[in-house]
Amino acid sequence: MKKIIQHFGGDLEWVDSYAKQFGGKVSGNSIIVPKEIHTGEKYVLSCDEGIVALYVDVKYHIDLCLIQQNIKKDFVALFYNLSKSKAELTCGGSSDAMGAWFYNLSLIDSDSDFKFDIKKGSEVFIFCIFIKKEQLVLFAKKNKLYSERINDIININSAEKKITEWDRMSNDCFQLLDDLRKHKKDSITFDLSMKGTTHILISDYLRGIGKNEIIRQHVSESDFFSIIKCQHILIQNLQNRFPGIKSLANQIGMSQTRFKFFFKMITGYTPHSFFLNNKLFKAKELIDTQEFTIEEIVYKLNFPSSSVFSNAFKKQFGMLPKAYSLQL
Amino acid sequence: MVELKHTYSHKIDWYTALAKSINATLINDKIAIFPENIGQGVSFSCTVMDGMSVVLIDGVFTADVLAKRIESDDDLYILHFDLSEKINMLNIDENRMDGCVPECKSGFSVVHSSIGSNLILLKGQRVFTLRILIEREKLINYLIEKDKKLKNIEKKILFYNHLNSNNKLLINSLKGRSVFDADFELYIKGISFKVLANFIDTYTQPTKSDIRKVELNGLNTAAEFLITNVKDTFPGLSYLAKIAIMSKTKFKASFKKVYDEGAYSFFVRCKMTEANKLIKTGNFTSLIEISNEVNYNRKRFITAYFKYFNRHPLDDFKCADDL
């Protein structure tokens, strides 16, 4: 298995050596890697002072072991992982499954080394954001963001504790990244969209920090994965009617009350509102393609009637679907 | 009517000066809380990146407010988005009525800082406007750097007032946030980047196909039907519309848009090309045979043929015989 040792940073100094490690080169903002290793896109962009984003949407053609050993220890990294394939991330003694339907958001301190095992044929989609700690300090001070967790993350002389967190990203982030993925990398506005996405993602993360919540602390791992499985089931059945709490709870072997409670805790939505929210985003996507009429979308996504759909769409997006499609 | 006078520039001075002039409470040089005599609400302004900043107004006014923007030498484009309940009036400076600012019916317009403008904010409704200020040179350089063909893109920018749905959604999402949240600044920056990206996308590629793929497939099926049945009589618009799975009116209009002619004249053209082909084969001895073959009576066939090829079918017959 090929081993690649990589390091990142809150500026663009690491990009050249990163490309060299893969035997590739840097062209503009793209990192071009030989096709034998992977095909797809790797795009790096400096989004603001001390904030760098790396967009990875690739398919690996060999087994790889990526080891992160940072040279600079002055930043934190946020990994948004929406890969279809599961990959093992080993950090310290513990190992966890990462991917769209496992843990898909991790915050890792630049001081912690980790190992990422990738199997041949895996499709990997990761959006990484590297933020310099001093920028975070500045930001927290400027915006009066006081929270224990932000102190833990920022803590520059953190000899006691290196922060590594595994979590699930919110549905909004999911949709945001999905949206970015649809943009063509060579379009003139990709840079702007990527900068926008990065800012909104960081804002969303800090919002979570402000609430001082880590979901994983309150839920056992098996319950956590059951709920994620259920989310997956719902997303795959967007074209059908809502299956009902009873049926969902049965599928993952939980009592209805427990299921409802954990679902809300982990996703922030009730099962039905999660389903409806994603269904409406799917509908919006279909409208964006300009291939279907509203009536066809209602039929395709199994909404009870077009007025029910229109009302729900208006409630979610603030405008009627027809108005939306006309102004595209 | 309360009158607010201000200019725009990337330095935050104009914002603090404006807040001071109306006795607004200023927090962090970003958030201005309106005094009670004007109304309830806030304004937010911050720099998004070098050469780009954003101003947001969100509030309910107790009196009509006239925000008078005085022209300035800063070379800025102002993207003005108005997502209030009722769109507020935006006029250009009375002294400069040269019509450079289009009416802002859609809730979006682009203004240049060298021309002053008046924005009348209506009382008693939620006013929600977002303005992105961007240096002209930076915007144009960005576009040219990415695509050299966009060199002359600037010409119509001041007349562009299409509010893209996605931008409406993005700005609407700001309505649910509080400017006092610690993460608001990052959020509005992100939204501003995305709004600008959307604006550039729709502005640089304004033509979008208004015929959907499904419809196009339907039209192609109908056209193919006409080509294969060229020797029969015209099946009628209703029948063709049925094949294309759309209404008769829609079929008529879409067909013309795609093929640049009506379905019937398309059919006649096919018939005439077919007749021409048949003549050239030399297998036919008289015009009657040909006209029968393409389902015409002789007299009408000659007229149609003449109209289409500008010559008598017999001329082609002779040519075929000579060969």
pLDDT digit string, tens, across residues B259-269:
888 999 999 98
Query: Average pLDDT in the B168-197 region?
Result: 90
State mean pLDDT over A173-187: 86
Exposed / middle / buried, residue B322 (Cβ in 10 Å: 0-12, 13-18, 19+): exposed
Let me know: does B58 contact B42? Beta carbons within 8 Å: yes
- Strand-strand pairing, A164-167 and A114-118: unpaired
For A62: left if phi > 0, alpha if psi spans -120 to 50, otherwise beta; the answer is beta
In total, how many domains does chain B have? 2
Q: What pLDDT score does B101 carry?
A: 46
pLDDT surpassing 70 at residue B243: yes
Q: Is the pLDDT of residue B291 over 80?
A: yes
Indicate the residue of B162, B191, B213 with minimum beta-carbon distance to A196: B191
| Contact B163/A at CB under 8 A | yes
Statement: residue B102 has pLDDT above 50 = no
Q: Please tell me whether residues B179 and B90 are part of one structural domain.
A: yes
Helix (H) or strand (E) holding A37: none
d(CA A74, CA B57): 37
Residues paired with residue B42 on neighbouring β-strands, in sequence order: B33, B58
pLDDT at B99: 46
Q: Would you state the pLDDT for residue B194?
A: 93
The segment with the largest mean pLDDT, out of A154-163, B80-89, B227-236, is: B227-236
User: Does residue B58 carry a pLDDT above 50?
Assistant: yes
Least confidently predicted of A132-141, B142-151, B164-173: B142-151
- Rounded distance between C-alpha atoms, residue B257 and residue B253, angstroms: 6
pLDDT top residue among B151 and B52: B52
Model confidence at A211, in pLDDT bands (50, 70, 90)? Answer: low
pLDDT in tens, A275-325: 999 999 999 989 888 888 899 999 999 999 999 999 999 988 888 998 888
Please check whether residues B200 and B272 belong to one and the same domain.
no
Using the 3D structure, point to which of B158, B182, B204 is the last residue of a domain.
Answer: B204
Which one-letter amino acid corresponds to residue B134?
I
Helices (H) and strands (E) in chain A, counts: 12, 13
CB < 8 Å to A204, chain B: 183, 187
Give the integer Cα–Cα distance in Å for A48 and A130: 11
Q: How far apart are CA B48 and CA B42, in angstroms?
A: 19
Which string of DSSP letters, residue by residue, matches B169-187?
HHHHHHHTS-TTSTTHHHH
- Residue B174: which CATH number? 2.60.120.10
With b for 16 or more beta-carbon neighbours within 10 A and e for fewer, the A86-105 pattern comes to ebbbebeeeeeebbbbbbbb
Boundary (domain end) residue, out of B204, B232, B249: B204
Residue B55 C-alpha from the chain's centroid: 25
Burial status of residue B50 (CB atoms within 10 A of its CB: 0-12, 13-18, 19 or more):
exposed
C-alpha distance across the termini of chain A, in Å: 48
Confidence band for A87, pLDDT divided at 50, 70 and 90 = confident
Which of B48, B138, B145, B194 has the most A C-beta neighbours within 10 Å, making it the best mutation to test the interface with A? B194
Provide the chain A residues 7-66 that lie in CB contact (below 8 A) with chain B: 48
Could you say which of B204, B221, B244 is where a domain stops?
B204
State yes or no: pLDDT of B173 exceeds 60: yes
Structure tokens given for B22: 């109306």
Say if CB A145 and CB A210 are below 8 A apart. yes
Q: Does residue A1 carry a pLDDT above 80?
A: no
pLDDT bin (cut points 50, 70, 90) of residue B288 is confident
d(CA B83, CA B171): 8
User: How are beta strands B65-69 and B2-6 bridged, if at all?
Assistant: parallel
Are B133 and B218 part of one and the same domain? Answer: no
Residue A36 to chain B, least CA–CA distance (Å): 30
**Same domain flag for B158 and B257:** no
Residues B33 and B135 in one domain: yes
DSSP secondary-structure letter at A216?
G
A162 token code pair: 């290196």
CB contact under 8 A, A197 and B190: yes
Across residues B293-317, what is the average pLDDT?
Answer: 86
Which of A273-282, A316-325, B173-182, B205-214 reaches the highest mean pLDDT?
A: A273-282
**Are A126 and A169 spatial neighbours (Cβ–Cβ below 8 Å)?**
no
- Whether B278 and B195 map to the same domain: the answer is no
Q: Are residues B13 and B116 in the same domain?
A: yes
Q: Which residue has the higher pLDDT, A186 or A310?
A: A310
Q: Which residues on chain B are in Cβ contact (under 8 Å) with A323?
A: 165
Q: Do A210 and B28 touch (CB under 8 A)?
A: no
Alpha-carbon distance of A31 to A81, in angstroms, equals 19
Cα separation of B118 and B69, whole Å? 6
- Asked whether the whole model's pTM tops 0.95, one would answer no
What distance in Å separates residue A188's CA from the closest CA in chain B? Answer: 6
Is pLDDT above 50 for B100?
Answer: no
The Cα of A232 is separated from the nearest Cα of chain B by a number of Å equal to 26
Task: Tell me if A291 and B213 make a contact (CB, 8 A cut-off).
Answer: yes
* B164 plus B221 within the same structural domain: no
| pLDDT tens, position by position, A257-274 | 999 988 888 888 899 999
Give the residue from B225, B55, B40, B188 showing the smallest Cα distance to B133. B55
For residue A165, the 8-state DSSP code is E
Is B211 within 8 Å of chain A by CB?
no
Q: What is the pLDDT of residue B145?
A: 80
What b/e string do you get for B86-96 counting C-beta neighbours within 10 Å, with b at 16 or more? ebbebbbbeee
Average pLDDT (B145-163) is 74
Cβ–Cβ under 8 Å, residues B39 and B61: yes
Statement to judge: residues B237 and B145 lie in one domain: no
- For the ranges A261-270, B102-111, B205-214, B254-263, which has the lowest average pLDDT? B205-214
A207 and B CB contact within 8 Å: yes
Q: In what order do the strands lie in the sheet with A2-6?
A: A2-6, A64-68, A114-118, A87-91, A94-98
Q: Which domain holds residue B101?
A: 2-204
Asked whether residue B173 falls in the same domain as residue B302, the answer is no
Q: In what order do the strands lie in the sheet with B126-135?
A: B25-27, B31-33, B39-49, B52-61, B126-135, B76-82, B108-112
CATH code where residue B274 lies? 1.10.10.60
Domains within chain A, CATH numbers bracketed: 2-216 (2.60.120.810), 218-326 (1.10.10.60)
List of chain A residues whose C-beta atoms are within 8 Å of the C-beta of residue B192: 196
Same domain, B159 and B238: no
Q: What is the pLDDT of residues A102-142, one digit of tens each?
A: 778 888 888 878 888 888 888 889 999 999 888 888 888 88
Interacting residues of B13 by C-beta distance below 8 A, sequence separation 6+ = none
Q: Which helix (H) or strand (E) holds A85?
A: none
Interface membership of B208 toward A (CB under 8 Å): yes
The answer on B99 and B58 residing in a single domain is: yes
Q: What percent of chain B has pLDDT over 90?
A: 17
Residues B189-204, mean pLDDT to the nearest whole number:
89
Residues 6+ apart with CB under 8 A from A74: A9, A10, A110, A132, A133, A134, A156
More confident residue, B123 or B241: B241
Is the torsion defined by CA of B87, B93, B96, B100 positive or negative? negative
